[in-house]
Amino acid sequence: MRGGKDRHCARPQAALAEGGILRVTPGTYSNVTLFRRMLRQARPYWPHIATTLLLSLLATPLALLTPLPLKIAVDSVIGSHPVPLFLESLLPADATHSKTAVLVLAAGLLVALALVSQLQGVGISLMRTYTGEKLVLAFRARLFRHVQLLSLSYHDSRGATDSTYRIQYDAPAIEWITLDGVIPFITAGFALTGMIYVTARIDLQLALVALAVSPVLVLISQAYGRRLRVQWHEVYKVQSSAMTVVQEVLAAVRVVKAFGQEAREQERFIHHASEGLWARIRVAFAEAGFGLLIGVTIAVGTAIVLLIGVRHVQSGVLTLGDLLLVMAYLTQLYGPLQTLSWLAGHLQRSLASAERAFSLLDEAPDVAERQDPRALARAVGAVAFRKVSFAYDDDHPVLRDISFEISPGARVGIVGATGGGKTTLAGLLTRFYDPTAGQILLDSVDLRDYKLTDLRNQFAIVLQEPVLFSTSIAENITYACPGASRHDIVAAAKAANAHEFILGLPQGYESQVGERGMRLSGGERQRISLARAFLKDAPILILDEPTSSVDMRTEAAIMEAMERLMHGRTTFMIAHRPSTLTTCDVLLAIENGRLAEVESAVSTAASAGPVRSWGRP
């Protein structure tokens, strides 16, 4: 079941917007910052990462030990050298001179080494998968929690797909960076240090010459690193825009079909997807160029060592054997050096992803909570607007200078032309958005002083476009109160006049409603979302055209049920039909974002009062 543990939950229908993309400027974060934040995020799994690292480091001694059985067989079985000292203890005292015993020992050692090596491989693989999956899950969960906390204006403007892409495809960067980046970086670093030490002991000058290519490698890595990062950002941007097309079309598949626009949408998708394809090819070219430069630089280094080495041999400073040895070590030394350079380039992809994920985390919700917010168990229900203005963007003011006061338990009707700002006004009340000027008070306290979850728990809302979740009807009704009993669910459904149609469905309350409730009619969806509001015993009701998609008879039944629901609660009811507003105590008329008229009436006289006067020209 969805929802939190408590009886009331906030934000029931947030985070459903679509379209739009969040911008990230490549290079917003330095590499150090990204690594630091990634490692901090991975902190609970440091022991796992360290274990994986230790297992990886085991590879070097195992590789060094692998030829040992052969050496023993050649030297001590075929030849007549004594068995290496440390192995003598493994043999019974009288068997050290038995060639058969030594041969069996060599064979046993070979099997044992193979076994340890395989176990090491299995260990790494299991640790890697476990740690990697855990890391990604924790990071995704953090991103998802944050996305849910972001305010509606973020979702309205940035859309759902880009956030989805970041949670699904960018979050795994934490696995790539820690397990495929940091661990090989450390192991290669160890191997490099070892090889430098060994080479320097044979010929210091040659070791220095061999290392002289390192600054060049660093420069190449840096130059390409920046370029690759920018290119990966481009890849992610176009890939997520291709995904936006798919999501948009699938979410509105009825409209696409109704207008016969399948071919056009197909073209739009292919256009975005091919941009992604070319962006990937550009990255592949850059990476190939990068690999080429690294390879050539290393070959030049080897060639210089060869030139100087031969001179040293000719002048008698170095023996031929030593030169051969140095050349052999050089390949081993350049191995890790090449890995390090490669990593610097290849990590750019993960770093670009990490940058996108962190920039999502760094989006601050603009409806923020105060440092020490006020708790609110149950509001009395007095609401006041003081000179409230609001705009979604700077150029288009939606509400201007609105002031009114509502006493607890009053029924407020909100009327006005379409697009006038009625839904916006209700959104300000629940703090989906904050006013750009002025103040909204609940029980004489500014909304911004309350704890957000406490504040939203005070409202039961029926949105203009009811949205259901792809689960059963019963779960949809209990969305705000997960612990509700079947008796309460049925009572709420009866009150919303939904019980009968629900029983008429093959699986009754367990019927699945389909994604966003698409398997139900508009009126059925609306009645279920009404039942959801009925079940949530909140002191303030907000009904945004609650009966707009039902027929007159159902409307009358719902209004009669709502009559009971509204009793003792402050109610804001937005409606176009005057019949819906007959029982209101106060009528607010919004016109071009301003409060044009406030009418009060005694509810019993209302049918002849405020509505009619509102209807006057």
Ligand X SMILES: Nc1ncnc2c1ncn2[C@@H]1O[C@H](COP(=O)(O)OP(=O)(O)OP(=O)(O)O)[C@@H](O)[C@H]1O
List interacting residues with Mg ion (CB under 5 A). 423, 464
Residue that the structure tokens 């009793």 belong to: 567
3-state helix, strand, coil in the chain (%, to 5): 65, 10, 25
Residue 512's binding partner out of ligand X, Mg ion, none, with CB under 5 to 8 Å set by partner kind = none
Write down the least CB distance from residue 259 to ligand X, Å: 22
The secondary structure element, H or E, covering residue 339 is helix 320-361
User: What whole-number distance in Å separates Cα of residue 517 and Cα of residue 30?
Assistant: 45
Query: Which is nearest to 150 in space by CA: 373, 361, 436?
Result: 361
Write down the least CB distance from residue 419 to Mg ion, Å: 8
Q: Is 423 in the site for ligand X (CB under 6 A)?
A: yes
Nearer to ligand X, 475 or 545 (CB): 545
Q: How are strands ordered across the β-sheet holding 594-600? A: 459-462, 540-544, 570-574, 411-416, 586-591, 594-600
Contacts of 448 (CB under 8 A, 6+ apart): 370, 431, 434
Q: Is 464 in the site for ligand X (CB under 6 A)?
A: yes
Residue 297's binding partner out of Mg ion, ligand X, none, with CB under 5 to 8 Å set by partner kind = none
User: What whole-number distance in Å separates Cα of residue 9 and Cα of residue 533?
Assistant: 12
User: What whole-number distance in Å separates Cα of residue 468 and Cα of residue 466?
Assistant: 7
Residue that the structure tokens 């006061």 belong to: 405
Nearer to ligand X, 38 or 426 (CB): 426
**DSSP assignment of 581-612, as one string?**
GTT-SEEEEEETTEEEEEEE--GGGGGGTHHH
Nearer to Mg ion, 181 or 421 (CB): 421
β-strands 586-591, 570-574: how paired? Answer: unpaired
User: What whole-number distance in Å separates Cα of residue 543 and Cα of residue 414?
Assistant: 10
Q: From residue 287 to residue 316, what is the string marking binding to ligand X with x (rule CB under 6 A)? A: ------------------------------
Q: Which of 76, 239, 244, 424 binds ligand X (CB under 6 A)?
A: 424
Q: From residue 92 to residue 121, what is the string marking binding to ligand X with x (rule CB under 6 A)? A: ------------------------------
User: What whole-number distance in Å separates Cα of residue 231 and Cα of residue 356?
Assistant: 13
Nearest residue to Mg ion by CB is: 423
Residue 421's binding partner out of Mg ion, ligand X, none, with CB under 5 to 8 Å set by partner kind = ligand X
Contacts of 530 (CB under 8 A, 6+ apart): 462, 495, 496, 497, 498, 546, 558, 562
Nearer to Mg ion, 217 or 462 (CB): 462
Q: Which of residues 150-189 bind ligand X (CB under 6 A)?
A: 156
Write down the least CB distance from residue 161 to ligand X, Å: 17
Write down the least CB distance from residue 589 to ligand X, Å: 11
How many binding residues for ligand X (CB under 6 A)? 12
Write down the least CB distance from residue 14 to ligand X, Å: 12
User: What whole-number distance in Å separates Cα of residue 272 and Cα of residue 292?
Assistant: 30
Residue 309's binding partner out of Mg ion, ligand X, none, with CB under 5 to 8 Å set by partner kind = none
CA distances from residue 114 to 62, 70, 85, 88, 579 in whole angstroms, order as listed: 9, 13, 22, 21, 85
Write down the least CB distance from residue 371 to ligand X, Å: 28
Residue 511's binding partner out of ligand X, Mg ion, none, with CB under 5 to 8 Å set by partner kind = none
Residue 419's binding partner out of ligand X, Mg ion, none, with CB under 5 to 8 Å set by partner kind = ligand X
Q: Which of residues 16-45 bind ligand X (CB under 6 A)?
A: none
Nearer to Mg ion, 99 or 576 (CB): 576
Write down the least CB distance from residue 460 to Mg ion, Å: 18
Sign of CA dihedral 140, 143, 146, 150: negative
Nearer to ligand X, 398 or 550 (CB): 398
Write down the least CB distance from residue 459 to ligand X, Å: 17
Nearer to Mg ion, 315 or 418 (CB): 418
Write down the least CB distance from residue 443 to ligand X, Å: 25
User: What whole-number distance in Å separates Cα of residue 131 and Cα of residue 245?
Assistant: 34
Q: Count of CB atoms within 10 A of residue 257's CB?
A: 11
| CA R_g for the chain | 36
Q: Is 501 left (phi over 0), alpha (psi -120 to 50) or beta?
A: alpha
Nearer to ligand X, 156 or 454 (CB): 156
Q: Which of 144, 190, 392, 501 binds ligand X (CB under 6 A)?
A: 392
Answer whether 228's CB lies under 8 Å from 345's CB: yes
Six token digits for residue 597: 């008229």
User: What whole-number distance in Å separates Cα of residue 321 and Cα of residue 334?
Assistant: 20
Query: Which is nearest to 38 in space by CA: 494, 325, 355, 395?
Result: 355
Length of the chain (residues): 617
User: What whole-number distance in Å separates Cα of residue 190 and Cα of residue 185?
Assistant: 9
Write down the least CB distance from residue 340 to ligand X, Å: 49
Residue 418's binding partner out of ligand X, Mg ion, none, with CB under 5 to 8 Å set by partner kind = ligand X
344 half-sphere exposure, CB direction, 13 A CA radius: 21
Write down the least CB distance from residue 480 to Mg ion, Å: 21
One-letter identity of residue 352: A
Nearer to ligand X, 343 or 461 (CB): 461
Nearer to Mg ion, 345 or 416 (CB): 416
Write down the least CB distance from residue 424 to ligand X, Å: 3
Q: Is 526 in the site for ligand X (CB under 6 A)?
A: no
Answer whether 415's CB lies under 8 Å from 587's CB: yes
Residue that the structure tokens 């209990």 belong to: 478
Write down the least CB distance from residue 422 to Mg ion, Å: 5
Residue 546's binding partner out of ligand X, Mg ion, none, with CB under 5 to 8 Å set by partner kind = none
Write down the least CB distance from residue 465 to ligand X, Å: 9
Nearer to ligand X, 419 or 514 (CB): 419
Q: Which of residues 393-422 bind ligand X (CB under 6 A)?
A: 398, 416, 418-422
Nearer to ligand X, 392 or 469 (CB): 392
Residues contributing to the site for ligand X (CB under 6 A): 156, 392, 398, 416, 418-424, 464
